[in-house]
Structures are given as C-alpha cells and as structure tokens.
Structure 1
C-alpha cells in the first residue's frame, strides 16, 4: 500500500517586518538629525524672539543689508556708581521753639532724685529758676512710680511718688524739666526684646562697644512707650521734657522692626524718630528738647545718628555738654545749625560753673 503523500509546510516568518521597521527607524533618526543641523541655518533671533525664517539662509540674514529687525544693537558698557546723598533737612518747617523763655537750671542726676533732695532745692534755688531732674538714665530704669503698664510688666518701674513732691517747687514758680533717655536704654531693651534694636547677625539686642543697648526707633511699641511716659510726666506737673540718648549706633549690622527696601543709616533712623517726636510734642502742647553730642557738632567721632540742623527742626531746645575750653566753639556750631543766635533755644550744659549764656544747665 503506497504511503500517503506528506507536504511540508514551513512556519511563517515575520523577521522581514522587523527588519523593515528597524530600517525605517534608522532612516527617520538620520533624517531628524539632518534636519536639526540643517535648519539651524534658518534660526533667527530678533525683537520677536526665537523662530525659524525659511525665506533666506542665515548667512544672508546676517549680511549688512539684511533687515534691521534681525540685527541686535550692541549693548554698551556703562560704569555706574550709585550715590546715596544725605537728606537735606533745611527746608523742613515746624513750630519748634515757639513761646519759650531762657532757663538758668540746676541738674539733679537720677541717683540723687529723692524726696530730701527736692526739699533741699525747694528753698535754695538762688539765682536759678529751673530744676532738671534726671528720671530715666541710660540704664533704662525709671526713678518715679509710673502708671504706664509696660514699666511694671518688665520691672523697670521706680518708687518715688513725684507728684506730691513737686508741689512745693511749683508753688515757688520753679520751672520743672524732666530728663529721660529715649533710645539708649539698658533695661527695657534686654527685658522686652521685641522693641530692642537688634543685631542683623545674631538677631539679639544690639550692644555697642560700651555695652549699651538701644530701643528700636522705628518700633511702634517703642514709640507708644515713650509717648506714654511723656504724657504722664506732663500730667505730673513737669513744664518740659529734655531727652537724652536720642542716638542710634553707626553700624551696618542693625536690624530694625520695620521692613524697608533699604536699611536706613543711623542719621535717617534718628531723624525719623525725632520728627515723630515733634508731632507728639505739638499734639500734647509740651515743650520737648534734646541733648546733642559734641561729635555731631564738630564732626570728630561718631555722631550716633544726630544731625544738629534737623534737631532744631524737631526739638524746642538743643543742649550740648560743653567745657570751659570748648564753650565758644560749641555754641558757634549750634548757632550755625540754627541759622542765628537764640537766648532760648541754645543751651549750654556745664559742670560747676555758670557760662556766659542766656540759657544753661549747671551740673
């Protein structure tokens, strides 16, 4: 019996399809690479940005007669120096210095302000008509028992009940001046850190080389505290307030409470604070005067942010601690800043001698 015929059928192979796909992929990659390098000739950057311009090759677009839109002007080098000039305060107009009289004053330092001291001066003013009582020195502690809550909260309050102690002096017509340190403050700045002038490096209260700390002149809390003290002193019977310590360290490493585009220098910070004080003095109807350092007059040493011209705009009187040898020069410098002589607004502060001046304070 013959065998059945067997026909061999091979398995279908698809390798040719894979080969074709691979070839097409290689061709596509090669074409893409060619187009990438070829079209770089037509990439144009003009005022409208980066785009393709197929109307002409890059060599033609960069020719000297090509359209101006495709040519970018050269950027010239400019050497620029930014100069920040000191503000001119001469044009500021205020009512400072009105309705004053000259003063012949005796100064009583904080440590000597006691009930017995006030009784002593009540009967022995002699040729003096004014008593200057230091009630807040640069250590930040108050000599009198204040009703300002923050003084109790941070334990800087004093104990003297001054209102009753001042009555005999007032009855004799003695002109009463309270002296307080405004920004130079050792106690409040350390105990109430949010209102302290801070170091930009450490974030802690800034301390100068002498160990002094300061209140932040831009802080709303600082200003509220000092305004409360001014108001209370006026209500207690003081005729005038003399501010010492209206200063700010001259340092690049200061951090103020207010956010500003540029950190102000010490003169700007103190001047801003001083002009704010002028507004408060006008509102209260209280003469507010200031002590100025000799460095701000002579230019020798650190003026600590003080500007004599501005101070005469912001304060009623400007007092300078002077000596026998420097008296003439210091008074001349104050007259120059004021723009003339004054029997009431320029005050010499001396030790153990009476100067030849209409207004003075003798320590």
Structure 2
C-alpha cells in the first residue's frame, strides 16, 4: 500500500486478538449467571427434621410443584415436672495427699489455750524440761474462736478474735535451742465466727444458728470458712511452727442445715473430707517449702466403735500425716494401725500422761481428768 509516496506494511491480524472481546463477553455472562443462581438458591433450600434439601420445581420429574407443610414450633410442657438431680456420693479410694517424706517422731508437752500466753508459756517450758521433753504442742485456737496470737488474718481482726500477744520472737528463740513447735487450731466449732458472720454458720431445724455445749458451729462446706482456716495455717507457718494439728474437723451429731444446697444431698463423711482435701491442697506448697506437716485430732471412738461425726480413720490417713488421739489404752490402740500396715510410731500420736522411747506422743498430765 502506498500513501503519499511511502510504502506502509500492515500485518495480518491474528485470530486470537480479534476473538478476545467475544471471550470476555462470555466470561462476564457466565459470572453473572452464577451470581444470579447463588442469589436464588436459598429460595429452593428446604429445612426439615431429616436435614437440609434443595428442591428446584422446574427439575421435578412429575412437573408438580413442591409444597412444604408447616411444622409448628415446640409447645412448652405444662405438666408437673418430676426431674431431680442425683448427686453421687464421693469416692475417696484414690485420694493420696498425706506425706511421710521427712516425717519424724512428734513429741511435745501439751499447752491448752488458756495457758498459751507470755507467762503460761514460760511455765510450760519449765514443766516440759522437768519431764525431759523438748517440744511444745500449743492450742492456738479453741472452740470460742479466739486466737492465742496476734495474726495477720483479716477475718480474725474483723471478728475480734486476735490476741494482743505476738509470740514469734519467743518461739524463734526456743527453736534456736532445738525445741519443736506444734500448733493446734479448732475448725468446725468457732463461736466468734458463727456469731459475727451468721451466713457461714450451720443452722438447726428452726433456721437458727446451730449451737451446742461446745459452742457455735460453722459450715465446713462454706468457702469462707475454709479460706479462714487456710489463712490461719499460713500465718502459723510464717511464725515458724513445725507442724499443724486441725481439731474438730467433724460434723455435729444433730441434723443441721448447710450454707450450700448441694451439701444436703451428701453425707457427713463428705462434710469432713471435702474440707480436709481443700485445706490440704491450698497450703500444700507452703508446707513443702517450709517442711511443715499437717495432722488431725480425732476422738478415740474413731479407732473402736466408730462415730457419726463424719470422721474415718482410713479416710483421714489419706489426707493427714498423723492422727492425734487422746487415750489411756495405747497398748490396745497401736496394733489397730500396724494391722493396716501403718507405722504407728510415726502416724499415730497418742496424747497421754506418760511417754516412751522410739515413737510419737504428746505428754498431757490432764488426760483422764475432767478439764
């Protein structure tokens, strides 16, 4: 081709370049079709009891439309319900919290709450020395709820349970001389706490706080009660005690009402064991760090006829390192431990009026006498 005296060559157009607009148009139409299909599909989705199904009328072989029969919504049941929650009794077979690691003989001279003060403690030390004993077992909290020391626990302050005496320095001095110090605290009977905070008290059948000849009772199911005991134990360990004895970890013999509804469906054994396990687990790390042991005081009946207070020798020995028992029949009691293949010299602590070598004991001149 010649244009104004120049030769111009125009190549032949390829078939692909000329077909691009057509392919683009087809692609756009396909995409629009897909979008339209997806927008309409929900109209043909049918939900029913057997699942989800897609029904497109134009694809029905018989040409008939598809009709969905309405299903009414569930109607609330208006009859009397007889459902009840069944709570299984706890199984303590696999509980294993007690530790005999590093356990040594526990020997000490017993000092009741009324004598745990500056003057009384000096007298007790002299009496212990005359008896050849170099250990003290101090009742630091009795059934009244009062403490024999000035604790740093807030609940004790609010209940006016604290003493004005701080024995920390004196106890440290005794320990430096080779004395062992064991502290005992009462748990379920706490008249001050039950009076100051009725919400944690056990109730009698009339709904009044439960009180018997020993004092006002608190609910060991209650978290606040457990926390209080845990904090007292921690405070005592900070003072340097070597062992802690929990007393009155028990259920009253009377029928009572609890602060937790679920507790009414569980037995007295659970009342004691739930508390014991919870306290042990809460303070276990501190105990191990400070090499402190945890024991329990139980009545003599636990060894013989049994008791209705929820305590069990077998169960308590799974949680507590030792059992402290006031007795006048040691020679009959010790075999009850050895028969169960339990070292009675380490894990059975008789509280009595005499001592012996090669075992644990608490010397208490008042055993057998009216206190």
TM-score (normalised: structure 2): 0.68
The 1:264–1:121 alpha-carbon spacing in structure 2 relative to 1, beyond 3 Å, is same
Report the 3-state secondary structure (helix = DSSP H, G, I; strand = E; otherwise coil) of the residue aligned with 1:183.
coil
Query: What are the residue-to-residue correspondences of 1:95-134 with 2, within 5 Å?
Result: 95-122=98-125, 125=129, 127-134=132-139
Q: In the alignment, is the contact (CA less than 8 A) between 1:343 and 1:358 conserved in 2?
A: yes
Structure 2 counterpart of 1:264: 266
Structure 2 counterpart of 1:309: 314
Does the alignment pair 1:294 with 2:300? yes
Q: Root-mean-square deviation (CA), in Å?
A: 2.4
Match of 1:279 among 266, 278, 281: 281
User: How far, CA to CA, are the matches of 1:271 and 1:155 in structure 2?
Assistant: 29
Does the alignment pair 1:168 with 2:173? yes
The 1:261–1:168 alpha-carbon spacing in structure 2 relative to 1, beyond 3 Å, is closer
Q: In the alignment, is the contact (CA less than 8 A) between 1:106 and 1:362 conserved in 2?
A: yes
Q: Kindly provide the CA deviation profile for residues 83-141 of structure 1, in whole angstroms up to 9, marking residues without a partner as x.
A: x9976534322342321100221000111112123334556536323210111111211
Q: In the alignment, is the contact (CA less than 8 A) between 2:190 and 2:218 conserved in 1?
A: yes
User: How far, CA to CA, are the matches of 2:91 and 2:356 in structure 1?
Assistant: 32
Residue 184 (structure 1) shift: 1.8
Q: Which runs of 5+ in 2 are unaligned?
A: 1-86, 365-371
Structure 2 counterpart of 1:230: 233
User: How far, CA to CA, are the matches of 2:219 and 2:264 in structure 1?
Assistant: 16
Does the alignment pair 1:204 with 2:208? yes
Q: In the alignment, is the contact (CA less than 8 A) between 2:96 and 2:319 conserved in 1?
A: no
Instruction: Name the stretch that deviates more: 287-296 or 121-130.
Output: 121-130
Aligned residue pairs: how many? 273
Residue 318 (structure 1) shift: 0.8
Q: Kindly provide the CA deviation profile for residues 198-237 of structure 1, in whole angstroms up to 9, marking residues without a partner as x.
A: 22x22222123x3532221111110111111011000011
Match of 1:94 among 77, 80, 97: 97
Structure 1 counterpart of 2:330: 327
User: How far, CA to CA, are the matches of 1:138 and 1:335 in structure 2?
Assistant: 33
Q: In the alignment, is the contact (CA less than 8 A) between 2:111 and 2:124 conserved in 1?
A: no
Does the alignment pair 1:183 with 2:185? no
Residue 340 (structure 1) shift: 2.6
Q: In the alignment, is the contact (CA less than 8 A) between 2:234 and 2:283 conserved in 1?
A: no
Q: In the alignment, is the contact (CA less than 8 A) between 1:287 and 1:316 conserved in 2?
A: yes
TM-score (normalised: structure 1): 0.69
Structure 1 counterpart of 2:66: none
User: How far, CA to CA, are the matches of 2:314 and 2:108 in structure 1?
Assistant: 24
User: How far, CA to CA, are the matches of 2:311 and 2:263 in structure 1?
Assistant: 23
Q: Kindly provide the CA deviation profile for residues 123-166 of structure 1, in whole angstroms up to 9, marking residues without a partner as x.
A: 65363232101111112111111221111212222121111221
